[in-house]
């Protein structure tokens, strides 16, 4: 049985319609689809899918900032999709330096699994969702950015060929990092937006431990952040937009409004139209 809640559906077209779909009944996981104004079922649309942050312990796709992010993409004529995932660090230990490394790794893995499961559902059920996909852009902030980076680059390591059907054309990472950048290669790297405060002490922008944990703490877990990933984009001659704040910390997991046009200009030029530019914007 399919579990779908439909809001503002008009026969033959949508006018700022929204649909909620449960993609994992067992864990009560869902995503919201925001259709653009004057939506047509017979037209191909670019999709902007997003995974919220919250340290794998909090945050929801219904948070005010997340809804505003989706409506912004909707207004730019994208199908916007906001995805929920299991918050497995919602425990007394949280996701800090006292949580053992192997448990952190499992949380990264399981969040990536949920993201890929949602993407597989979306891409395999386009007629049911009244959509035809053109380019698919996947983004996230903080924990969500970690989830999407790991989902895309480590899916074969963690899940074999289970998600080979999932197609992603571009990534958008706000304050994200990956657990092992050796799996980012010339053959699989795709156009990416990297946004990060270079003084972030939660998710490192460089090659550094998560949450600034010390090497004698159980949760010491080195990650490869945006600055390191941007270097790989340049090395492999793949398009990238990097917005780095030299003094910024983890608040850059929420992108400043004034940079949104630059992000979508890059998406339009380098993801949708395949122009290979490397752009770096440095702010204080």
pLDDT tens, the chain, 284 aa long: 444 444 444 333 444 589 999 999 999 999 999 999 999 999 999 999 999 999 999 999 999 999 999 999 999 999 999 999 999 999 888 999 999 999 999 999 999 999 999 999 999 999 999 999 999 999 999 999 999 999 999 999 999 999 999 999 999 999 999 999 999 999 999 999 999 999 999 999 999 999 999 999 999 999 999 999 999 999 999 999 999 999 999 999 997 888 999 999 999 999 999 999 999 999 99
Q: Taking the model in full, what pTM does it have?
A: 0.93
User: What is the residue whose two structure tokens read 């912004």?
Assistant: 72
Predicted pLDDT of residue 16:
54
Residue 183 sits in a domain of what CATH number? 3.40.50.1820
Predicted pLDDT of residue 8:
41
> Are 192 and 145 within 8 A, CB to CB?
no
Domain encompassing residue 124: 4-283
Q: What is the DSSP letter of 35?
A: P
Q: What are phi and psi of 91, to 5 degrees?
A: -140, 170
Distances (CA, A) of 217 to 36, 80, 170, 206: 48, 40, 35, 20
What six digits make up the tokens of 160?
């074999």
Q: How far is CA 38 from the centre of its chain?
A: 26
Predicted pLDDT of residue 17:
84
> Collapsing DSSP states into helix, strand and coil, what is residue 243?
strand
Q: How many domains does the chain have?
A: 1
What six digits make up the tokens of 74?
């909707």
């Amino acid at each position: 049985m399919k579990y779908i809640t439909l809001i503002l559906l008009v026969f033959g077209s949508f006018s700022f319609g929204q649909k909620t779909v449960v993609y994992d009944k067992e864990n009560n996981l869902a995503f919201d689809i925001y259709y653009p104004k004057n939506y047509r079922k017979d037209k191909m649309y670019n999709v902007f899918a997003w995974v919220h942050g919250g340290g794998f312990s909090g945050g929801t796709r219904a948070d005010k900032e997340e809804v505003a992010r989706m409506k912004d993409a909707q207004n730019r004529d994208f199908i916007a999709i906001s995805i929920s995932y299991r918050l497995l660090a919602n425990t007394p230990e949280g996701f800090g330096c006292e949580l053992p490394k192997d448990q952190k790794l499992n949380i990264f893995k399981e969040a990536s699994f949920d993201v890929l499961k949602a993407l597989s559902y979306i891409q395999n059920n386009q007629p049911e969702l009244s959509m035809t996909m053109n380019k698919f852009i996947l983004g996230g902030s903080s924990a969500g950015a970690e989830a999407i980076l790991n989902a895309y680059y480590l899916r074969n390591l963690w899940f074999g060929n289970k998600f080979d059907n999932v197609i992603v054309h571009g990534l958008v990472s706000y304050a994200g990092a990956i657990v092992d950048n050796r799996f980012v290669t010339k053959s699989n790297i795709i156009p990416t937006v990297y946004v990060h405060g270079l003084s972030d002490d939660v998710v490192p922008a460089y090659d550094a431990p998560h949450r600034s944990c010390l090497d004698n703490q159980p949760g010491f877990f080195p990650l490869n952040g945006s600055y390191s990933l941007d270097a790989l984009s340049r090395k492999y001659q793949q398009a990238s937009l990097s917005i780095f704040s030299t003094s910024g910390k983890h608040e850059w997991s929420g992108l400043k409004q004034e940079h949104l046009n630059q992000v979508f200009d890059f998406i339009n030029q380098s993801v949708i139209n395949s122009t290979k530019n490397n752009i770096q914007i440095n702010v204080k």
